[in-house]
Amino acid sequence: MRKHIIVSLLMATGFLLSTVSITEASTKVMWRKMGLRSGQIGKVTILTDTAIWKVKGGVLSEDRKLKKGQVYRVYRYVDVEDGLYSVGDGDFVFSGVVKYETPSKAKLALLKKKTQR
């Protein structure tokens, strides 16, 4: 009897968790195989192996390497030197080594509408 109660509780918990996942998935705005996030202005595709840079004490320093073909969300553009794209968490990539794309105004409006709920 006790096993049946435990199994029932586990099944009910699993059902509730799967319902939450379905709800979250239905509110996600997709853009070219990537979920669009609040504050995102575009995305970059790395064209050649390059470094990602971090600002430390007002100075750019190499943080790690990025591989050709990787895709990152962009949250802002900084017009210094050749231009830098902010890819979040204080990381930047130079504009000369990436392909930059922006979502349509319709996608951005849909994201704004869904995040205001």
Residue-wise pLDDT for 5-32, tens only, equals 443 433 443 443 444 444 444 568 898 7
pLDDT of 112 reads 87
- pLDDT tens for 69-87 read 999 999 999 998 889 999 9
Other CB atoms within 10 A of residue 49 CB: 12
Q: Residue 49: its pLDDT value, please? A: 97
Give CA separation, 108 vs 29, 36, 42, 48, 88, in Å: 9, 8, 10, 28, 18
Rg (Cα) of the chain, in Å, rounded? 20
Could you tell me the CA-to-CA distances from 69 to 10, 51, 57, 81 in Å, in that order?
42, 13, 30, 24
Structural contact between residues 30 and 36, judged by C-beta atoms closer than 8 angstroms: yes
User: What per-residue confidence (pLDDT) applies to 101?
Assistant: 96
The domain locations on the chain are 30-115
28-61 pLDDT, tens digit per residue, is 889 878 888 989 999 999 999 999 999 888 888 9
pLDDT at 81: 81
The pTM for the full model equals 0.70
Token pair 């050649």 is found at 48
Whether the pLDDT of residue 106 is over 50: the answer is yes
pLDDT in the model for residue 115: 80
Q: What confidence score (pLDDT) does residue 26 get? A: 56
**pLDDT at residue 103 greater than cutoff 60:** yes
